[in-house]
Amino acid sequence: MTNASLTVMEAIARKRAIAALYNGQRIVLAPHLLFERHGDQFVSALNAGKSWRSDEEPRLGQFKLAGLGALELLDEPFEPLASFCGILPREDDVAIFAV
**Which helix (H) or strand (E) covers residue 35, if one does?**
strand 25-37
Tally of domains in the chain: 1
Instruction: Please say whether the beta carbons of 88 and 32 come within 8 A.
Output: no
Give the integer Cα–Cα distance in Å for 53 and 74. Answer: 27
C-alpha 5: how far from its chain's center? 11
Does this model's pTM top 0.95? My answer is: no
Give the integer Cα–Cα distance in Å for 68 and 40. Answer: 13
In 3-state terms, what secondary structure has residue 49? coil
Q: How confident is the model at residue 44 (pLDDT cuts 50, 70, 90)?
A: very high
Q: 17 is in which domain, residue-wise?
A: 3-98
15, pLDDT greater than 90: yes
Give the integer Cα–Cα distance in Å for 52 and 35. Answer: 25
Give the integer Cα–Cα distance in Å for 92 and 8. Answer: 21
What whole-number percentage of the chain has pLDDT above 90? 83
In 3-state terms, what secondary structure has residue 14? helix
45, pLDDT greater than 90: yes
